Structure 1
Amino acid sequence: MVRLTVTPKVSLADEPLKIQVSGLPPSQLVTLQASLTDEKGVFFYSRALYWSDKAGEVDLERAAATGGDYAGVQPMGLFHVLKPEKPFYRLMKRDVMQSPFQIRLDLFDSNHLFSSPHDQPVASQTVDRWYVAPGVQRVQIRGNRVRGALFLPPGDGPFPGVIDLFGGIGGLIEFRASLLASRGFVALALAYFAYEDLPSCLDEVDLEYFEEAANILLGHPKVGGAGVGVVAICKGAEIALAMATFLPQITATVCINGTNAMHGTALRYRHLYVSPIPYRFECVQITALGLLSLYSVIGDTQAEANQGSLIPVEKALGQILFVVGESDQNYNSKAFAEEAMERMGQHGRKNCTLLSYPGAGHLIEPPGSPFCSCSWNPFFSLPLMWGGEAHAHAAAQEHSWREIQKFLWHHLCHTGSSKL
C-alpha cells in the first residue's frame, strides 16, 4: 500500500517538515505536488519528480528531485518554490491568529507535470502551517498616533521587545512579528502608512512616531531590559537604521536589504531635518517580461551632493546586523551595508555585523515564505522585480532567520532563555 507521510502535520510556518513515501515499486517515477489557496483565493502550487529507491521509498531528506520546479536534494523544496497560478502574486499570511495555511501534498505515480489536473493522486496529506504558536496573544495597538498589533508570548516574562517593520507595500503586515512572538519575543508589528488613519503615502518619516512605538513597547509589563530591538526590511530597514542612530531606546537593529541614506522621503526628528536623495524615476527600467526594475532609481550615495542625506550611523549606540541578498534587484543592498560599515569603522565603531548571501534576492523573510522573484505592489502599475535564485534564497532565509533570533537574544535579553 502506497503511503505518503508528512510530519509534523501541525507546525509553525518556519519549521521544517519530514516528507516520506513508502510502498512503491522500486525505480518508480512519481510526482509530488504541494498546493494551497491563500486568503484572497489565489491558488499556489509546486511539483517535483522523484524516483523511488530499491526499497520503494522516497525520503526528501535523501532523495534528489530529477525535475519539476527544482532539482537535487531539497527536503523543503516543495514549500520553497510554491508559485501562484495568477502570475506575480505574493504568498503572504494576513490573518495570523484565526487560521493556518493548509497545504495539501499529493503523490502521483507517474510524471504528472503534463497530466490532466483532474487526475487523482494515489496518496494525499494536508498539513497546517501556523504563524502563531499556542498561547500567543494579539493586542491591537492604537496609541496617541501609533497603529499596529502587539504579539505577546505566553507566560509572565520578562521578554525582549522587538519592533517589526516592512517596506514600501504599506499597511499592517503581521506574519513575521507573530513568528517572533512564537519564539519568545514581545513583537510589535508596526504600520506607518497606508493603514487606518495613517497617511496614505509616505511623504516624510517622522521619527517621533517610531519613538512613541518604542516607548509603548518598553512600557509594557511583559517587556524586560533597558532597550528594544528592530527587525525591518526594504524602506523599513532604512527607517530602522535611522532609529538605531537617533533613538537611544533602540539597542539591537536588524536591517534586511535596506539603504544607508534617506531616499525619496525626508527624515524629521524634533529639531533635526534630513533631506532625501531624490528618486531618479527617469532611470526606471521595464524588462522584456513587463517587470519594473527600480534598481537604478535609487540615487548615488557617494555623490558629493548627497552626503547630507546619509544616515550618521556612527552615532548608533546599539548593535546593528545587516542582512543582504547579493542578487537583490531592488536595491544594491550589499554596497549600502558596506558603506554604512565603512563609515562606522572610520569613527572607530565596531558595533555592526554583515550577513551577505550570494544568490539571495530582496525579500529575505522567515523560512515559511516561498521564494518570490517579482510581485505586484499597490503603488505601481507593473510588477516589481525582487531578484534572487530559489535554492540560494531559501537557504539564506533559513540561515538568516536563525542568526537574527540569536542576535536579538544576545543583545536584548539578559534573563530568560532562547527558544532556538
Structure 2
Amino acid sequence: MRNRMRGWARVLVVLVLLGAGTTQCARGPGGRPVVEVDAPTALVDRAVHMRIGGLTAGEKVGVDLRAVDVEGKPWRGHATFRANSHGVVDVDTAAPLSGTYRRPDGMGLFWSMNPRSGDPEQAYFRPPYRGKSGFDLTLTATANGRRPVSRTLTRKWTEAGVSARDLTLAADAVVGSLFLPAAATPRRPAVLVFGGSEGGPGPAADAALFAAHGYPALALGYFHAPGLPDTLANIPLEYFRAAVRILAGQPGVDPDHIVAQGYSRGSEAALLLAQHYPDVVHGAIVYSPSDMANGGFPNFGQPAWTKDGRALAGGHIRLDHVAGPVLAIAGADDRLWPSADAARAIVKELDDRGNPHPHRALVFPDAGHGVGTFPYLAAGTRYTHPLTNEVLDVGGTRAANAAAQEQGWPQVLALLASLTR
C-alpha cells in the first residue's frame, strides 16, 4: 500500500507539472512536447502510465515505442492522438486516431508493436532475457514537425535480491532454471512452471517474474532440450516429481503449498501431478488446458506420459485426489483445441466431486490459445511450431489476447497470495 501511495503521489506531481486544469500546458525545452511516465523502470508485467503535455488544444501528436528483440530485429508500436482542451494526451484514456492499436489502452503501444518486416500475426516479440536483468524501449513523441522528445523505458525481469541458477541433468537430474526471491520470512508458496508441445528448457521468464513477486519458482524443461527426449513421448511423471522435490527443499519455500503451472499440453502434466502426487503438488494453474490425457507429439500413437514405468491411459483425467486450488484460464476462440470447454469441464468435475479447495475457470470470449501468461509483450495469432514447422492459427485477436493476459495474470498472483501463510 505504501508503494502504491508513493506511485500515486508521483502521478499527482506529474499532473501539476503538466498543468492539468489549465488552458494549456507549458512546452518543454525548444517548444518540444513534455513526456511523463510514472514508472520508467518497472517489472515487465507492470503497467506504466504515460502522458504527453506541452501541446496546444486539439493538436495532433505521434507517439512511438521502439525496441529490439533478442535477434536484434527492430519492433515499433505507434499511435497518433489529439490533445485535449488542456494540451494533454493521457495515453490511458485517449483513443488513437490511427496506429497499431485502436481503442484506449494505456499499454497498447507495448502489446501492439510490429516487427519492421514480416507478418505481425506470425511474429512474437522475444526481448533479451538470458544473462540480462531487463531490456530497454524508447518512447518518442513528435508534434507539428517540431523536434521530437524521447524517454527510455526499462522493463525488468526480476527485482533486487532474486537469485537464479540453471539446473542440469548431470548435477540435478532435471533441466531448468531455479529462481528464488530475496531471503524473507515467512515461507512462501512456490511454482513449478513448464510449457507445452514446443518443448525447450522451460519458461524462465515466467519463473523470474514469480520470484520477483516473492514466489520461488522453477522453470522446467521436459523434452526437446539438450539431454532430454526429442519429442513429447513417454515422459515420466517421476521426472516432474524430482523437480518438485528440488523446489521444496529451497530456503524460503513453503513445502505445503507448491503449485504446478502448465500451458497447453503442459496442462495435462500439471493436472496429472496434482492428481497423482497430492502430497507434494498442491494444486494447478492451467492455461489453454485439456481435461484429457492425449497421445504423444508429434507422434500421437505414442503415450505422452508414464508413471511407475507404465504408460498412463489416455482419455479423461480424473481429479478426485487434487489437494489444492485449481485455476483454468482459456480463450473461447482457441482454434487449436476446445480449451474453453476443457476449463469448464475441469471445474465441473471438481464441483461434482465436492473438492473443498478453490477452483474456477476464467474464459475470455475473444481470446485464443495465446490467452497467457504475463501481459504486455507483442504476440501474433499464428504460430510456427518448432517441431513440425507447421503454421498454426491459434485463434483470438492480438487485442483480445492482450486484454486476457492483463486480466488473467493478476488472478494467478492472487491465487498464490491466498496460499501465503
Distance 2:337 2:306 in 1: 23
Verify: 1:335 aligned to 2:373, yes or no.
Answer: no
AA matched with 2:55: L
**Aligned counterpart, 1:368:** 376
Verify: 1:169 aligned to 2:194, yes or no.
Answer: no
**Aligned counterpart, 1:409:** 417
Deviations 1:186-233 (A, max 9, x none): 010111112121112112221000010111111122212424112221
More displaced 10-residue stretch of structure 1: 95-104 or 239-248: 95-104
**Aligned counterpart, 1:273:** 311
Unaligned runs of 5+ in 2: 1-30, 297-302
Distance 2:77 2:209 in 1: 24
The share of aligned pairs that are identical, in percent, is 26
**Aligned counterpart, 1:292:** none
Deviations 1:51-91 (A, max 9, x none): 01122211112322122222232111101212223332312
Distance 2:352 2:86 in 1: 61
Q: CA RMSD in A?
A: 2.0
Verify: 1:68 aligned to 2:99, yes or no.
Answer: yes
Distance 2:152 2:382 in 1: 28
**Aligned counterpart, 1:91:** 125
1:160 deviates by 1.7
Deviations 1:257-286 (A, max 9, x none): 11011222222111653244xxxxxxxxxx
Verify: 1:133 aligned to 2:150, yes or no.
Answer: no
TM-score (norm 1): 0.84
**Aligned counterpart, 1:188:** 218
1:144 deviates by 4.5
**Aligned counterpart, 1:400:** 408
Given that residues 63 and 78 in structure 2 are in contact (C-alpha distance below 8 angstroms), is that contact kept between their aligned partners in structure 1?
A: yes
AA matched with 2:292: A
**Aligned counterpart, 1:310:** 316
Listed as ranges, the matches of 1:192-207 within 5 Å are: 192-207=222-237
1:317 deviates by 2.1
Given that residues 97 and 131 in structure 1 are in contact (C-alpha distance below 8 angstroms), is that contact kept between their aligned partners in structure 2?
A: no
Deviations 1:323-369 (A, max 9, x none): 11112222211111222233333333354211111112212120132
Runs of 4+ in 1 over 6 A off after TM superposition: none
Q: Paired residue for 2:328, among 322, 325, 333?
A: 322
Verify: 1:106 aligned to 2:140, yes or no.
Answer: yes
**Aligned counterpart, 1:147:** 175
AA matched with 1:185: Y
AA matched with 2:337: Y
Distance 2:352 2:220 in 1: 33
Given that residues 267 and 290 in structure 2 are in contact (C-alpha distance below 8 angstroms), is that contact kept between their aligned partners in structure 1?
A: yes
**Aligned counterpart, 2:388:** 380
**Aligned counterpart, 1:287:** none
SS of 1:180 mapped into structure 2: helix
1:14 deviates by 0.6
Verify: 1:159 aligned to 2:217, yes or no.
Answer: no
AA matched with 1:160: P
Deviations 1:81-136 (A, max 9, x none): 122233323123452542422111122326xxxxxxxx996111111111111211
AA matched with 1:145: A
